[in-house]
């Protein structure tokens, strides 16, 4: 007698109904649920579907009424032509080599060390100071935007990726927080045994703790990758030279050109094609690392 529509389950529970009244209620609820969920999901999916399908059109298919849902013939050459209007290969290299890779590597490395200090070593005042970390998580980045710009200007770092990646060497509070949560779950005896064997703390971190927290590292690396790949405001503030643009600024540049009607035809399809290509690594990563994503995101909320 436990048939409840909103029941929390991970596995399907066999259906059996207590009485007709309840059954009708249940059936109605089921119908209602799908009647809401399916259109809702479709509308969530539609913008991205529209992006991809528009990427396969030419102008005459874009400006048609009513809008064409399934383009035919398709024009996959837009992906190549759109990519070549601006130096997108260069932008991609910039995004990966100068921004994403160093940002991820620096953040994960430094945050691991810091998180270790906040979780696996007992020192007086630790938890008080950790509160400061939690506080900085909530600090609006807008507050430091202007003075940091002035500082980086003074250092002569404008128009480079340094303002975007060097701070990553000093750990990221959010990632420290997540890693600390993971580290805390490991039994203290692991470290104690190693200490008795004369291992240094760094040795313990890299040889014992890290191999056990690979999934956690994957989660935070994934997050950091996402932030860097998707970042728009940071590069907008610090980068001026178009040759150094990351993909995010490249897309914006293309949209300016595409909206300028006189410039070239198929502006919208090209723009959609390039947007698709830039979103693609994220979407592909998601489907390959779905579990990691979902677990990571779920963990985010754990602290309550």
Partner 1 sequence: MAASTEKVSRYTPQEWRNLRLGLLFVSPWALGFLLFTIYPLLSSLYYSLTRYDLLRPPVFLGAKNYLTLFFDDPHFWNVMYNTLFYVGLSVPFGVGAAFIIANMLNSRIVARSFFRSVIYVPSIVPAVASAMVWQFLMNVQYGAVNGVLRYFGLPIIPFLSNPGWAKPSLILVAIWAQGAAVVIFLAALQDVPRSLYEAATVDGANLWHRFRNVTIPLTSPIILFNLIMGLIVAFQEFTVPWLLTEGGPMNSTEFYLIHLYRNAFEYLRMGKASALAWILFLIIVVFSLIIFKSSARWVYYGGEK
Partner 2 sequence: MTMQSISRRDFLRTSGLVAGSAALAACAAPGPAPAASEGNDTMAAEPQTISWWYAWGNLDPAVESISQLESFKAHIGENTTLDYRGSTNNEAVLTALAAGDPPDGGSNMDYPGLWSRGVCLPVNDMVDSSEIIDPNEVVDAVWQGGFYGADLIGVPSIESFLWYGLNYNAQHVEEAGLDPDDPPLTWEGVMEWHKELSQFDDGGNVLRIGLDPIDAMAGEPDFIATSYGHTWWNDEEQTFHLDHELMAQGIETQAEFFRFIGPDNFAGLRSVEGQGTWGAAFNAEVQSMIIEGYWHAGETTIQKPEVAVHNRATWAPVPAFREGAKIMATGPHMVQIYRDGKNPDGIFKVAEFLHTEEPLNIIFHEVGWIMGIQSWLPTIDADTFPGLRFYIDNIEEVTDWIVGRRSPIHWFVNTQLWDLREQVYRDLITPQEAVTELQKRAEDEWEAQGL
Question: In the window 139-198, what residues touch partner 2 (CB under 8 A)?
Answer: 153, 156, 158-159
Check residue 151 for interaction with partner 1 (CB under 8 A).
yes
DSSP 3-state assignment of 19?
A: coil
Site string for partner 2, 215-254 (x = CB under 8 A): -------------------------x-x------------
Site string for partner 1, 27-66 (x = CB under 8 A): --x---x--xx--xx--xx-xx-xx--x-------xxxxx
- Which residues are CB-contacts of 240 (< 8 A; sequence separation ≥ 6)? 158, 159
- Which residues are CB-contacts of 158 (< 8 A; sequence separation ≥ 6)? 149, 152, 238, 240
Cβ closer to partner 2: 118 or 152?
Answer: 152
Q: Could you say which of partner 2, partner 1, none residue 272 binds, taking C-beta under 5 to 8 angstroms by partner kind?
A: partner 1
Q: How many CB atoms lie within 10 A of CB 30?
A: 12
Q: Could you say which of partner 1, partner 2, none residue 28 binds, taking C-beta under 5 to 8 angstroms by partner kind?
A: none
Handedness of CA 120, 126, 127, 133 (dihedral sign): negative
CB of 225 to partner 2, least distance (A): 28
Check residue 139 for interaction with partner 1 (CB under 8 A).
yes
Taking the C-alpha atoms of residue 93 and residue 283, their distance in angstroms, rounded to an integer, is: 19
DSSP 8-state class, residue 266: -
Check residue 204 for interaction with partner 1 (CB under 8 A).
no
The alpha-carbon radius of gyration of the chain (Å, integer) is 25
H-type alpha helices, 63-172: 77-85, 88-93, 101-119, 126-137, 141-154, 162-165
Q: Could you say which of partner 1, partner 2, none residue 242 binds, taking C-beta under 5 to 8 angstroms by partner kind?
A: partner 2
Check residue 101 for interaction with partner 1 (CB under 8 A).
no
Check residue 8 for interaction with partner 1 (CB under 8 A).
yes
Site string for partner 2, 20-49 (x = CB under 8 A): ------------------------------
Q: Smallest Cα–Cα separation from 204: which of 121, 260, 141?
A: 121
- Which residues are CB-contacts of 138 (< 8 A; sequence separation ≥ 6)? none
The site for partner 2, by CB under 8 A, has a size of 11
Residues that bind partner 2 (CB under 8 A): 153, 156, 158-159, 240, 242, 259-263
């Amino acid at each position: 007698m436990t048939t409840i529509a909103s029941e929390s389950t991970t596995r399907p529970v066999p259906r059996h109904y207590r009485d007709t009244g309840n059954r009708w209620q249940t059936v109605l609820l089921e119908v209602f649920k799908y009647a809401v969920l399916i259109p809702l999901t479709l509308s969530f999916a539609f913008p991205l579907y529209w992006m991809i399908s528009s990427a396969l059109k030419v102008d005459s298919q874009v400006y048609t009424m009513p809008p064409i849902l399934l383009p035919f013939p398709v024009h996959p050459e837009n992906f190549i032509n759109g990519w070549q209007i601006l130096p997108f290969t260069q932008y991609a290299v910039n995004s990966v080599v100068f921004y994403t890779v160093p940002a991820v590597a620096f953040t994960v490395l430094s945050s691991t060390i810091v998180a270790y200090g906040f979780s696996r070593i007992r020192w007086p005042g630790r938890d008080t100071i950790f509160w400061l970390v939690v506080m900085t998580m909530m600090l609006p980045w807008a507050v430091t935007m202007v003075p940091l710009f002035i500082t980086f200007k003074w250092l002569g770092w404008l128009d480079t990726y340094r303002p975007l990646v060097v701070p990553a060497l000093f750990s990221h509070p959010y990632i420290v927080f997540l890693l600390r949560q993971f580290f805390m779950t490991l039994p203290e005896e692991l470290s104690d045994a190693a200490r008795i064997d004369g291992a240094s703390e760094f040795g313990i971190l890299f040889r014992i703790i890290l191999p056990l927290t690979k999934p956690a590292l994957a989660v935070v690396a994934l997050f950091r990758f996402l932030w860097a790949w998707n970042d728009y405001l940071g590069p907008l503030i610090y980068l001026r030279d178009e040759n150094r643009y990351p993909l995010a600024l490249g897309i914006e540049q293309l949209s300016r050109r595409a909206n300028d009607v006189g410039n070239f035809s198929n502006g919208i399809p090209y723009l959609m094609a390039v947007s698709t290509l830039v979103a693609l690594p994220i979407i592909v990563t998601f489907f390959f690392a779905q579990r990691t994503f979902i677990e990571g995101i779920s963990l985010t909320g754990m602290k309550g």
